[in-house]
Every structure is written in structure tokens, then in C-alpha cells.
A = this chain, B = another copy of it.
Amino acid sequence: MNSTEHAAARSPGRCIKLTVAYDGTNYQGWQRQATGPTIQSALEAAINCIAQDDVHVSGSGRTDSGVHAWGQVASFHTKSKMPADVFRKALNATLPHDIVVRHACDVPITFRPINDAISKRYRYVLQPGRINDPFSLKHAWFVKRILDVPSMQAAAQALIGEHDFATFQSTGSPRQSTVRTMLDATVTVHDADERAKIFIEVEATGFLYNMVRIIAGTLVDIGQGRRTADSMAEIIASCDRSQAGMTAPAHGLYLLQVHYPPHH
């Protein structure tokens, strides 16, 4: 096959957008790896099994090993004529049970999950208490001390708006710009079950590497009284990673939603 034939064979056909939930516990993150299972490889294997194709799946961004998703967005090009919702059902019958395609639809062939996203929403789940909960071991960060939620909520307000978020970026991961716009930041208590959980939710035009986990670590410091709620504005302004709290563990983090303009 010459290069023209190869390009024709790989002509895009159509683009299908997927909304995917996954329990990240047993995966080495989103991105395809030489060793170990990833969400991207599992999706590609399932699609190629169904469509007898050799597709590449793009995601709205990587999630790290152990991070979960309720609404990761991914897309792929295929020449298959299968209706998108039938594809969804076939994928769910093929994928491991800890990955679920919640929605599938046709989108313009130019759709790019990472470039077209206008904002993302993450949740970080904390479980405060004296004793471990055997049902949340891989799904919440267990924090021994009681947390002062009103202080955390007050501090979270300082994150809202356009800021240079360099404070909340892991060192050694420079981006061209570290300015992002935080659209929402809330800290709320959810106690439907035996054990109350605290949800930190943040929505922004974009996130730096480990940004949500460093924000969560800093808010826990505030909740435990090691920093005041007022200190958040100074911590942001410092643009200094060492002024923020620890990077909270991966298993408390969930990619909740990725937002696109209405035409997608």
C-alpha cells in the first residue's frame, strides 16, 4: 500500500464522541502505556474488536493512575455505519465492567476533545473520621481529623476568577501560561450514607498538572486549622508551589464533566 492508499484506507469517515465513566483503581491512568492496562487502550481494543478497525481514541486530557471519571470525553474516527447508540451498547458489552460508556453521538469530523473543551469540572472526595471506611478505600481520601467545612468553603471562594495558578502546579511541569479562569469552587458535605463525605468541586477553563490535587491538599490544611481561610488569597498570589499544601492522593479525584460549545 503506498502512502496515498494508506491515507485513503484511514480516511476519517465519521467522528463519534463518547462520554465515559470509569473506576480508575485497576488502571495506569488514561494514556496508553507500554506496560499495564489503561483506559485509552481498553477503549481502543473494544472499538477495534467491534468495528474491525485500527482506530485511535483521543481524550479530553489524561487522568493519572488511580484517578476516576464520571464524564471523561473521548472521540474516534471510524468508517463503521453503526448508529452511535448501538456502538455504545456494543462497547459496554465488550469493555471491562469498570469502564462504562454513558453516551455516544456523532459530532463534526473536526471535533477534538482536548482543544474544543471550554471548561472541565472535577470533584475531590474527602472522608473525615476516626476510623477507616472499608467501602471507600480506593474512592476517597481518608482524613483522620475533623474538617472545618465553612472555613474550607470560604477559602475556596478565593480561587474563583482569573488567576495565575502557578502555586498549584507540580514542579517540573511548566506550561506556557499558568493563568486560568476558575468558574466555580465549592466545598459541601454529603452524608446520605453511614459516613459523611466532603466534596471539593472545581470548574475551570483549564487545569495545570496536579492542580486539583494540590488545591485539595491546601483546603485540607485549612480545614484542619493549620492555615486560615484568609491565607488562600496570599497562597495563590505567591505563585510558589512550596506555599501550597501537599498533593492529595489520586484515588480521591474524579473528572466529572467536560463542557463544549453548544454545537458539539
Cβ of A192 and Cβ of B194 under 8 Å apart? no
- Determine the residue in chain B with the shortest Cβ distance to A136: B23
Comparing A46-54, A98-106, A174-182, the segment that makes contact with chain B is: A98-106
Checking B134, B190, B256 against A98 with a beta-carbon cut-off of 8 angstroms, the contacting residue is B134
What distance in Å separates the Cβ of A38 from its nearest Cβ neighbour in chain B? Answer: 15
Checking B22, B133, B194 against A134 with a beta-carbon cut-off of 8 angstroms, the contacting residue is B22
- Determine the residue in chain B with the shortest Cβ distance to A196: B192
- What are the 7 closest A-B residue pairs judged by CB atoms, nearest first? A192-B192, A190-B192, A23-B134, A98-B134, A100-B134, A100-B132, A21-B134
Interface residues of A in 65-86 (CB under 8 A from B): 68, 70
Answer whether residue A97 sits at the interface, using C-beta atoms and an 8 A cutoff. Answer: yes
Checking B97, B139, B194 against A137 with a beta-carbon cut-off of 8 angstroms, the contacting residue is B97
- Bound-state Cα–Cα, A133 to B190, Å: 19
**A residues with CB within 8 A of B:** 21-23, 68, 70, 92, 97-100, 102, 131-135, 137, 139, 190-194, 256
What distance in Å separates the Cβ of A162 from its nearest Cβ neighbour in chain B? Answer: 29
What distance in Å separates the Cβ of A83 from its nearest Cβ neighbour in chain B? Answer: 16
Known: A97-B132, A192-B192. 9 other contacts (CB 8 A): A21-B134, A23-B134, A98-B137, A99-B134, A100-B133, A100-B134, A135-B139, A190-B193, A194-B256
Identical copies in the complex: 2
- Bound-state Cα–Cα, A135 to B92, Å: 15
Cβ of A100 and Cβ of B68 under 8 Å apart? no
Cβ of A21 and Cβ of B133 under 8 Å apart? yes
Cβ of A132 and Cβ of B193 under 8 Å apart? no
- Write out the residue numbers on chain B whose beta carbons fall within 8 Å of the beta carbon of A137: 23, 97-98
- Determine the residue in chain B with the shortest Cβ distance to A71: B194
- Write out the residue numbers on chain B whose beta carbons fall within 8 Å of the beta carbon of A22: 134
- Write out the residue numbers on chain B whose beta carbons fall within 8 Å of the beta carbon of A139: 135
What are 9 A-B residue pairs whose CB atoms fall within 8 Å in the complex? A22-B134, A23-B135, A23-B137, A68-B135, A98-B134, A98-B137, A99-B134, A100-B131, A190-B193
> Known contacts A98-B137, A137-B97, A137-B98: does B92 contact A132 (CB below 8 Å)?
yes
Cβ of B131 and Cβ of A70 under 8 Å apart? no
What distance in Å separates the Cβ of A124 from its nearest Cβ neighbour in chain B? Answer: 14
- Write out the residue numbers on chain B whose beta carbons fall within 8 Å of the beta carbon of A134: 21-23, 97-100
- Determine the residue in chain B with the shortest Cβ distance to A24: B134
- Write out the residue numbers on chain B whose beta carbons fall within 8 Å of the beta carbon of A256: 194
